Amino acid sequence: MHYNMEKVVEIRDLFKSFGDNHVLRGVDLDLYKGENLVVLGKSGTGKSVLIKIMVGLLPIDSGDITIFGQSIKGLKLGALNKLRLRIGFAFQHSALYDSMTVRENMEFPLTRNVKGLTRKEIDYRIDRLLNSVGLPQTANQMPSELSGGQKKRIGVARTLVLEPEIMLYDEPTAGLDPITCMEINHLINQVREEFNTSSIVITHDLTCAKVTGDRMAVLLDGQFGAVGTFDEVFHAEADPRIKSFYDYNFIQ
Ligand SMILES: Nc1ncnc2c1ncn2[C@@H]1O[C@H](COP(=O)(O)OP(=O)(O)OP(=O)(O)O)[C@@H](O)[C@H]1O
């Protein structure tokens, strides 16, 4: 087991609706320190909504989320921004700025959020991360010159530049070929080892789930219907809704 029992995120009885669309209906979930937690669920079940609530981009209807022991409900903007800096969000579409080089892309969040760093310190952090993701040679390239997998790696490196304690990966392997998917899966595990992060990985990719996840949490009809290791969740007597998901998806 890679993680310990200290909770970094506690979600309790969380409700979120948009008009008549009752998306989250009493969600409970914990993220433990050092854990990779995979969130699975059909399209439109509310995975992204949950992540957006966590980083304060959407308000809570009722229930609560506690992050690093602090309730996010009613948090003032200053405190929310401080909390957000401890959470790294690796977007589905790596979201690099097309007009900036890789180095500039990484420098931008750093100089905007951390004051007083010297040129040497900035370069040291960027070079270290480019090495960690295996792409030191791309520093002066434009995003348009990178492959899809390389863009994802740079997206992860850019997220890590602020040294987050929690990483949120939104469909990290979407649109990649199977070999590149595997490289990204290994990168997610490597990031945990190297930077001591706790992570939530949202994915539809069961290979990604199996390789990266300590635990799976399956969102079904507004609640986590099953939470456990891959084998605990995907077994022969599982809920038919999970089995259909599993049969549809499973590769090996
Ligand atoms: N800002 C919003 N306003 C209104 N409805 C929204 C908003 N954001 C999300 N929804 C609705 O909430 C539901 C859940 O959306 P969400 O994006 O969380 O799904 P998801 O599980 O992440 O799906 P996918 O796997 O396709 O990314 C959808 O029905 C969506 O239309």
- For 242, the 3-state DSSP assignment is helix
- Please indicate, yes or no, whether residues 223 and 204 belong to a single structural domain of this protein: yes
- Please indicate, yes or no, whether residues 62 and 168 belong to a single structural domain of this protein: yes
Whether 1 is in a domain gets the answer no
- Please indicate, yes or no, whether residues 116 and 65 belong to a single structural domain of this protein: no
Whether 92 is in a domain gets the answer no
Query: Do 22 and 222 touch, CB atoms closer than 8 A?
Result: yes
Domain range for residue 217? 7-86+164-249
- Please indicate, yes or no, whether residues 150 and 211 belong to a single structural domain of this protein: no
pLDDT band per the 50, 70, 90 thresholds, residue 247: low
- Please indicate, yes or no, whether residues 143 and 192 belong to a single structural domain of this protein: no
Residue in 39, 76, 97, 78 with CA at minimum distance from that of residue 219: 39
- Give 47 Cα–ligand 1 centroid separation in angstroms: 8
- Please indicate, yes or no, whether residues 131 and 185 belong to a single structural domain of this protein: no
Closest protein CA for atom 6 of ligand 1: 18
Last residue of a domain, one of 107, 142, 161: 161
11: CATH: 3.40.50.300
- Please indicate, yes or no, whether residues 171 and 137 belong to a single structural domain of this protein: no
- Please indicate, yes or no, whether residues 82 and 177 belong to a single structural domain of this protein: yes
- Please indicate, yes or no, whether residues 123 and 183 belong to a single structural domain of this protein: no
Judge if the beta carbon of residue 49 lies within 6 A of ligand 1.
Answer: yes
d(CA 161, CA 170) in angstroms, rounded, equals 18
Q: pLDDT digit string (tens) for 135-145?
A: 999 999 999 99
- Please indicate, yes or no, whether residues 216 and 102 belong to a single structural domain of this protein: no
- Give 105 Cα–ligand 1 centroid separation in angstroms: 28
Query: Do 90 and 167 touch, CB atoms closer than 8 A?
Result: yes
Whether 2 is in a domain gets the answer no
d(CA 252, CA 178) in angstroms, rounded, equals 12
- Give 233 Cα–ligand 1 centroid separation in angstroms: 24
* Exposure string over 167-199, b if 16+ CB within 10 A, otherwise e: bbbbbbbbebeeebbebbbebbeebbeebebbb
Last residue of a domain, one of 113, 136, 161: 161
Whether 244 is in a domain gets the answer yes
- Please indicate, yes or no, whether residues 171 and 220 belong to a single structural domain of this protein: yes
Extract the tokens encoding 120: 């040497």
Judge if the beta carbon of residue 23 lies within 6 A of ligand 1.
Answer: yes
Last residue of a domain, one of 108, 127, 161: 161
Whether 239 is in a domain gets the answer yes
The complex's ipTM?
0.97
> What's the total number of domains in the chain?
2
Closest protein CA for atom 27 of ligand 1: 43
pLDDT at 246 over 70: no
CA 14 to chain centre: 19
Judge if the beta carbon of residue 189 lies within 6 A of ligand 1.
Answer: no
Closest ligand 1 atom to residue 41 Cα is 21
pLDDT band per the 50, 70, 90 thresholds, residue 4: confident
Q: Which residue has the higher pLDDT, 192 or 248?
A: 192
- For 185, the 3-state DSSP assignment is helix
Burial class from Cβ neighbours inside 10 Å (0-12, 13-18, 19+) for residue 58 reads middle
d(CA 63, CA 121) in angstroms, rounded, equals 42
pTM: 0.91
Q: What is the pLDDT of residue 248?
A: 56
pLDDT band per the 50, 70, 90 thresholds, residue 165: very high
User: What letter represents residue 49's amino acid?
Assistant: V
Q: pLDDT digit string (tens) for 79-125?
A: 999 999 999 988 766 689 999 999 999 999 999 988 899 999 999 99
